[in-house]
């Protein structure tokens, strides 16, 4: 392991990713779905083609961009332009042993792993299929984490558009080895029904009963309601290189769709969970907000508190309680390792060091590799040692129930 990070810090990456493998998930498919779940096969010309349920077959070459952490800019552009085979990506994208080697390079003790492409594909699929695909991924993920020497931990996918089916999957995965949490996109299942609507109550109940934390993880796609679709960020025609324009998944750019879409959707979700009464009604529900930066969280909570005082008639259920109180009680937010506002947020009483986790986003193109933990150590160096320890790994371990004595 690298010796360039403080010896007394234990690093836990709260948001790493796996790329979905070509065919390794198929054996985990429920009966009858073996020929419908995610699989990548060569066509007659040798091009790798993704098929998933009734979706139009997709050339996978442009998806290779998702595994480009650590490559130079020239190669990254070529990969995004479709001149690199998806299956030729490094094994650490979908192999446990190879991922452990990556963790060692950056002195990371534990990594919490999320899906990549399967964060999307929610629309135009039947509820039945989305539930089956979620189950397939989750069982494969559990199996992979079981090979991770206690250092790899999985966050299960949920069928986004069917809260009842999502609740059933939460209860099912609670007993799977290696699964430490579940995730949703910070997007409503149905246009106009925000997260404080009763239709989502089965999800909150299932997480509360099982104790599994719920992560909200964004995606720049327009397959479900949210900022990308609502602000029309997915069809701008600005990119110089090919992008995935699949109707129910892709956007024609990354910059605008992700730069604005991620934090806008997350702010909306935080508002309806804290000010909308969800966390008030479900005090055992624990939530974490991922991959949207964190520097805005203090000002957002200050604004929500201020409005709760001035316009209290719009939130009568709060009865004087402040949204920030529910955030402090039940929420965490992730920062990138180099965010300049991390230390400020840790010292601010409205959030605090105990509400912060960090994330690498590895192996995605914006991941700092190698060197992310060195970068984080520098960013938090001005904080008290106890707060440094919490941010480096203690908070994530508490949130996900990870034993820091292992790994």
pLDDT of residue 156: 98
pLDDT of residue 240: 80
pLDDT of residue 81: 72
Can you read off the two tokens belonging to residue 68? 């480009």
pLDDT of residue 115: 98
Which pTM value belongs to this model?
Answer: 0.96
Neighbours of 9 (CB within 10 A): 19
pLDDT of residue 6: 81
pLDDT of residue 2: 44
HEC per residue, 364-390:
CCCCCCCCHHHHHHHHCCCCCHHHHHH
CA-CA-CA-CA dihedral for 226, 227, 230, 235, to nearest 10: -120
**Residue 270, CA atoms < 13 Å, CB-side half-sphere:** 34
Nearest-5° Cα angle at 157, 127 to 90:
125
pLDDT of residue 375: 97
pLDDT of residue 71: 84
**Domains of the chain, first to last:** 11-32+91-400 (3.20.20.140)
- Give the residue ranges of the chain where pLDDT is below 50: 1-3
Q: How far apart are CA 302 and CA 64, in angstroms?
A: 40
């Amino acid at each position: 392991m690298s010796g360039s990070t403080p010896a007394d810090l234990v690093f836990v990456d709260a948001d790493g990713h796996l790329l979905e493998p070509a065919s390794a998930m198929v054996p985990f498919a429920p009966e009858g779905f073996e020929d419908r779940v995610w699989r990548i096969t060569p066509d007659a010309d040798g091009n790798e083609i993704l098929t998933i349920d009734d979706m139009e077959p997709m050339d996978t070459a442009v998806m290779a961009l998702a595994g480009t952490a650590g490559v130079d800019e020239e190669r990254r552009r070529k990969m995004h332009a479709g001149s690199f085979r998806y299956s030729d990506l490094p094994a650490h994208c979908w192999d446990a042993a190879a991922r452990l080697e990556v963790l060692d390079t950056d002195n990371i003790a534990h990594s919490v792993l999320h899906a990549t492409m399967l964060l999307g594909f929610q629309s135009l699929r039947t509820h039945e299929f989305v539930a089956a695909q979620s189950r397939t991924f989750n069982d494969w993920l559990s199996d992979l984490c079981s090979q991770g020497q206690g250092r790899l931990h999985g966050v299960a996918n949920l069928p986004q558009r069917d809260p009842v089916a999502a609740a059933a999957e939460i209860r099912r995965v609670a007993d799977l080895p290696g699964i430490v949490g579940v995730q949703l996109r910070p997007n409503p299942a149905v246009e106009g029904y925000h997260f404080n609507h009763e239709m989502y109550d089965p999800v909150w109940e299932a997480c509360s009963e099982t104790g599994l934390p719920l992560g909200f993880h964004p995606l720049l796609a327009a397959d479900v309601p949210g900022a990308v679709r609502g602000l029309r960020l997915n069809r701008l025609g600005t990119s110089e290189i090919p992008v995935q324009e699949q109707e129910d998944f892709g956007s024609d750019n990354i910059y605008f769709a992700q730069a604005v879409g991620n934090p806008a959707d997350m702010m909306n979700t935080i508002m309806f969970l804290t000010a909308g009464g969800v966390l008030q009604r479900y005090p055992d529900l624990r939530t974490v907000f991922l991959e949207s930066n964190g520097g805005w969280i203090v000002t957002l909570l200050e604004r929500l508190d201020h409005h709760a005082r001035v316009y209290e008639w719009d939130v009568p259920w709060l009865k004087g309680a402040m949204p920030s109180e529910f955030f402090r009680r039940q929420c965490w937010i992730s920062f990138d390792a180099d965010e300049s506002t991390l230390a400020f947020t840790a010292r601010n009483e409205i959030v605090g060091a105990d509400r912060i986790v960090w994330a690498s986003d590895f192996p995605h193109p914006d991941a700092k590799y190698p060197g992310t933990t060195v970068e984080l150590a520098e960013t938090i160096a001005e904080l008290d040692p106890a707060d440094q320890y919490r941010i480096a790994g203690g908070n994530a371990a508490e949130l996900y129930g990870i034993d820091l004595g292992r790994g």
